[in-house]
Amino acid sequence: MSRLRRLYEGLVTAPSFVWLTLLFLIPTLIVFAIVFKPADPYGGIGSGWTLETLRSLGNPNYPAIIWRTLWLSLLTTAFCLLLALPTGYYMARVDKKWHNTLLLLVITPFMTSFLVRIFAWKTLLHPEGLIKQALVFLGLVHPDATLLYTPEAVLLVMVYTELPFAILPIFTAAEKFDYHLVEAARDLGAGPLTAFFRIFVPGISRAIATAVLVVLIPALGSYVIPDVVGGPNSEMIGNKIAQRAFADRNLPHASGLAAILTLTVLLPLVVSLIMQTRSAEKHPPILQEKA
Amino acid sequence: MSEFLEIVNVSKHFGSLCAVDGVSLSIRKGEFFSLLGPSGCGKTTLLRMLAGFEQPDTGRLLLNSQDITPLPPNKRKVNTIFQSYALFPHLTVRQNIAFGLQVQKLPTVEIDAEVDKMLALVQLEAEADKKPALISGGQKQRVAVARALIMKPQVLLLDEPLAALDLKLRQKMLLELDLIHDEVGITFVYVTHDQGEAMSLSDRIAVMNHGKIEQVGTPAEIYEAPHSSFVAAFIGDTNFFEGEARELVGKEYSRLTIEGFPDLVCFNDKNISAGNPVYLSVRPEKFGIGRARPVLGPNHNIVPGKVEDIIYLGGMTKYWVRVDEYKIAINQQHNRFFLDEEPIRWNDDVWIWWHADDGFMLERYSEADENLMSLPPESVGEEGTPG
Amino acid sequence: MKRSRLPFFVTLGVLLFFYLPIVVLVVNSFNASAYGGHWEGFSLRWYLKLMGQHDILTALENTAIIAVTATLVSCILGTTAAFALHYYKSALQRYHFVLIYTPLVVPEILMGMSMLLAFVALGVKLGLFTIFLAHVTFCISYVAMVVLARLQDFDMAVIEAAQDLGANWWVTAWRVLAPMLAPGIASGALLALTLSFDDFVISFFVAGPGSTTLPIRIYSMIKFGSPAVLNALSTLLLVVTFTLVWASQKLTSNKGEAL
């Protein structure tokens, strides 16, 4: 009976297992292998092996870019958390009948085309765009200042695209949270902020961890956002990978950068996996938008 | 009395765990038969083997003299009511009930007629076109019953069908199940951990523990003549006293010594020989209690004690009387007008007595079973709940 | 007890933040001016200009073909994966789960880059087919997770109930299992379709010089094209999205919770 069961298990598992091994696992491993190959003058991968590519990764500009990637991603995560916590809290607290509507309101922008949303911000932040006009009108910025092509613009748009992913897990957990605990804290004399940070936040700590991972990892790999609304001083690893791959047509070098990015993402990735497999509650992981 | 459903020396292991250990039962046609026991005793596994969802490691199952052991569940003339009801969520009540007949490919006209009859039997005509999500727990159970009964099974298996319902609903559905059984007349095998359900519904009960049958009998037999201390404690309330059997007195009685008690006499139908450690089990309602020492025949046991706790319940009073290190639970019914007698008060010295026939000597229970049984509470307010 | 109003205001702010760019975009698509800063009167000229762009229509066609085929294949693979993960609890399934889960959390650029390298190293010609392969790869995980969640809510007793009532394997699968799973698989399919339509980064990496999808086209328009025409295109896409979201909401609320 057990042999038969193993056979059935093998048959059911095989299709997805094989496909993902061939088209996901092996390519990821290939990334690390290609780092040791030379670039082909026509933009492909040369033959033989070399350490030259590895050496070229020692580019003095890179540490700054890596640092900026980390820094921007962490800031994005922080801002997302800061906004998602009160929002998730509020959404869970309103009358049940509004839950669906609010959820819909939050999710719908995220269902629209990712590129369209980034483009919308490009327009808004344009030197002749609305926001610039408004800020000049309010006397907050100099008429010659550019909002676009700055790290701040990248940060803004990253927060914009990642925020729904932070709100969702926090809202889900907030819905299940027992608010009597907060009321008990208030009853014992705590103010609203104290109760929020000492009772509510620890109570949904798992959801917060999920939100952090779900924002941080895609942020680290951001490519389109810094590419469209960022400038030369807001480059992130993602840009550089694309630049090396397409503009410079140096695949092994791009591969090296991709390997670095993979290593950067590895730690939060492993944490995320452990959290998932330990998860007693069966939640599907919150969906990741392409960044 | 035909032995209609026979379980012959059936065992089932899950890895190293023995769920059912050499169980044999004979269930009669048309009987309401219950498998009663604490969780993990093997009753559900046994039921699932009857249904065909588990295969016994050893032994056979015979239905109407036919060996059904190798048959898969869809080929047995046996139907199950699942604990979660397992109604098909994408089908209406009517479609759920019709399912089994549709599988048999009966003509639609016939199916409709049978379904209508069933809907009338369980009084769900008004809900016929609703999906399960829109009906109540009690209604879901009735759909499950109708869906099974329409198949005209030879045996209906019920797996703790009332467990998911609240108390009031449970009592109502209990009566309904009883009525349905009377009306339809087929054999019911009912699994439960609730002794109240088993006692009120069953023709006979099999009490199970650790995969074995402890005792089979009518509710009265099980209650009044338990074969083991597990059964004595699992069903209803009782008092246990640790003692040692002594020599026989007359044909059927033995003397018994219990520390702190005068010499006692007890009915000995198990031929327990002198020197063996035993428990004496006497149920609370078998005692008499009073201020004056009564004058009674030789087979009565009379013991002095002190009243420690009293709960007055109107129709009866519960006393807890201390005798040496025991706190004995005694239920006294008030058959006569109670107000002008002098009631027994807290701290009174009283005499308690019982007839030797009303006590049982049983072997001592194991420590593992102690949690499962209702033992006299240490103080008022700590009523042990049965089963 | 005085409740703080702060969460409410933050939520309001967040929602305004979400919709502001979208609203501005839509309004601007009707703006006669080519640059969004000033309103120069209502106009449909950008939509008309859009209609004449054949390359966009080709890109749309490609995107649609890939989306449909990728959805089909990933639904099959994702559903089998969900079954395997749900029913079997072995070491194999632990690896299987890691394989399924990881694509959900790695940045897209890594997936795009690794697949590009694999294709180049193996000499596979880049084109619509490689885009198709890439899309299936990332969609499997989403479909698997959605169907898995559905399976976990499944009361397995209904399968036993069907057998108890006389159904053999085939009847049980067809009349009980499939209808109960259908909504879950449909959800997964819808998700895969949406993701495939909208995918840019991975497609960009594995697309060949001759093949383009709508998102790739939009990207080049963002970088090099006229923003006004893009406004019009974007507005149309937004309308489609909002309609789909509204429609799916209607569908799920009308069904009357299938458990």
Segment B309-346, tens digit of pLDDT: 999 998 899 999 999 889 999 999 988 877 767 788 89
| CATH, residue B136 | 3.40.50.300
CB-CB under 8 Å, C158 with B90: no
Alpha-carbon span A204 to C242, nearest angstrom: 31
How many Å is the Cα radius of gyration of chain B? 25
Q: Report helix, strand or coil for B246.
A: strand
Answer yes or no: is pLDDT of A287 > 60: no
For an interface test with C, the pick among B49, B71, B102, B103 (most C C-beta atoms closer than 10 Å) comes out as: B103
Per the domain annotation, does B190 fall within a domain? yes
* pLDDT at position C100: 93
When pLDDT is cut at 50, 70 and 90, the band that residue B370 belongs to is low
Chains that touch B (3 or more CB pairs under 8 A): C
**Residue B387 lies inside a defined structural domain of this protein:** no
Query: DSSP per residue over B86-112, as a string?
Result: ---TTS-HHHHHHHHHHHTT--HHHHH
Edge-to-edge strand ranges of the sheet holding B32-36:
B78-81, B155-159, B187-192, B32-36, B204-209, B212-217
- For the ranges C31-35, C91-95, C178-182, which has the lowest average pLDDT? C31-35
Q: Can you give the CATH number for the domain in which B246 is found?
A: 2.40.50.140
Three-state SS for C32?
Answer: coil
Question: Does A163 have pLDDT greater than 90?
Answer: yes
Mean pLDDT along residues C11-40: 79
| C-alpha closest to that of B263 among B273, B253, B276 | B253
Is the pLDDT at B237 greater than 80? The verdict is yes
| Pair B212, B107 in one domain | yes
> Any idea how long chain A is?
291
Nearest to B202 by CA among B63, B366, B31: B31
Last residue of a domain, one of B224, B246, B267: B224
Q: Residue B79 contacts by C-beta under 8 Å, 6 or more apart in sequence?
A: B100, B148, B149, B151, B153, B155, B156, B157, C164, C165
If asked whether residues B76 and B195 sit together in one domain, one would say yes
Q: Concatenate the DSSP letters of all residues of B247-286 into one string.
A: EEETTTEEEEE-TTS--EEEE-SS-PPTT-EEEEEE-GGG
Partner C contacted by A89 (CB < 8 A) = yes
pLDDT, tens digit (0-9, with 9 covering 90-100), for A177-227: 888 888 888 888 888 888 888 888 888 888 898 899 889 999 999 899 999
* C92–A9 C-beta distance less than 8 A: yes
Looking at the fold, whether B134 and B7 belong to one and the same domain comes out as: yes
Contact A87 C94 (CB under 8 A): no
End position of a domain, from candidates B202, B224, B246: B224
Task: Tell me: do B333 and B362 sit in the same domain.
Answer: yes
* pLDDT at A285 (0 to 100): 43
Looking at residue C34, its pLDDT comes to: 63
Q: Residue B46 — pLDDT band, cuts 50, 70, 90?
A: very high
CA distance B198 to B207: 10
Same domain for B332 and B194? no
Whether B377 is in a domain gets the answer no
Question: What average pLDDT does the segment B95-105 reach?
Answer: 92
Residue B79, domain member (yes or no): yes
State pLDDT tens for residues A95-117.
888 888 888 888 888 888 889 88
- What's the pLDDT at C35? 62
pLDDT tens string B297-306 = 888 999 999 9
Domain C-terminal end among B192, B224, B256 = B224
Picking from A84, A53, A65, A105, the residue whose alpha carbon sits closest to that of residue A207 is A84
User: Residues of chain A with pLDDT > 70: what percent?
Assistant: 93
Closest CA to B227 of B281, B299, B285: B281
Confirm whether B159 is domain-assigned: yes
A201, exposed or middle or buried, with CB in 10 Å at 0-12, 13-18, 19+? middle
Residue C194 near residue A287 (C-beta atoms within 8 A): no
What's the pLDDT at C163? 92
B306, part of any domain: yes
Q: State whether B217 and B275 are in the same domain.
A: no
Mean pLDDT of B359-374: 68
Residue A41 has pLDDT above 80, yes or no: no
Residue B322 CA, distance from chain mean position: 30
Which of A15, A222, A285 faces C104 most closely, judged by CB atoms?
Answer: A285
Residues B241 and B200 in one domain: no
* Residue A182: alpha-carbon gap to chain centroid: 31
Share of chain B above pLDDT 70, in %: 93
Contact B80 C164 (CB under 8 A): yes
What are the boundaries of each domain within chain C?
Answer: 55-232
C166/B100 Cβ within 8 A = yes
- Cα(B138)–Cα(B162) distance, integer angstroms: 9
> Once rounded to an integer, what is the mean pLDDT over residues A37-48?
74
Give Cβ neighbours of residue A290 (< 8 Å, ≥ 6 apart): A114, A218, A224, C108, C198, C199, C200, C201, C202
Tell me the backbone φ, ψ of residue B22, rounded to 5 degrees. Answer: 60, 50
Which among C161, C167, C256 is the nearest to B134, CB-wise?
Answer: C256
| Gap between the Cα atoms of C82 and C149, Å rounded | 9
One domain for residues B257 and B185: no
The strands making up B66-67's β-sheet, listed across from edge to edge, are B17-28, B3-14, B58-63, B66-67
Q: Which residues of C touch A287 (CB under 8 A)?
A: 104, 142, 191
Minimal C-alpha gap between A221 and chain C (Å): 5
Full-model pTM: 0.77
B92 shares its domain with B194: yes
Instruction: Note the pLDDT tens digit of each residue in B239-276.
Output: 988 888 888 877 788 888 888 888 888 887 777 777 78
Residues 140-169 of A with CB under 8 A from C: 160, 163-164, 167
State the fold for domain C55-232: MetI-like fold (1.10.3720)
A286 touching C (Cβ < 8 Å): no
Contact A27 C10 (CB under 8 A): no
- The percent of residues in chain C predicted with pLDDT above 90, rounded, is 30
Which domain does B303 fall in, by range? Answer: 237-370
Residue B383 pLDDT exceeds 50 = no
pLDDT of residue A108: 85
How far is residue A132's CA from residue A146's CA, in Å, rounded to a whole number? 8
Mutate to test the interface with B, among C154, C165, C170, C185 (most CBs of B within 10 A): C165
Nearest to B90 among C166, C171, C258 (CB): C258
Evaluate if residue B371 carries a pLDDT over 80. Answer: no
Asked if residue B316 lies in contact with residue B343, where contact means CB atoms within 8 angstroms, the answer is no
Mean pLDDT of chain B: 87
Nearest CB to A104; choose among C99, C102, C249: C249
Over residues B2-29, mean pLDDT: 89
- A221 has a chain C CB within 8 A of its CB: yes
**Domains of chain A, each with CATH number or no CATH:** 1-33 (no CATH), 35-278 (1.10.3720.10)
Instruction: Mutation target for A interface from C31, C33, C93, C106: give the one with most A CBs within 10 A.
Output: C106
Residue B137, CB-side half-sphere exposure with 13 Å CA sphere: 14
3-state SS assignment for residue B56: coil
- Asked if B249 and B192 sit in the same domain, the reply is no
The reply to whether B215 and B248 lie within a common domain is: no
Mean pLDDT lowest among A23-37, B223-237, B327-341, C64-78: B327-341
Tokens coding A47 = 């033959």
Strand duo B300-312 + B326-333: pairing: unpaired
Across C152-170, average pLDDT: 89
Does C10 contact A at CB distance below 8 Å? Answer: yes
Statement: residue A120 has pLDDT above 80: yes
Claim to verify: residue B217 and residue B73 sit in the same structural domain: yes
Please give the residue that has the higher pLDDT: either A282 or C30.
C30
Q: DSSP assignment, residue B232?
A: H
Q: Which residue has the tokens 């000995």?
A: B268
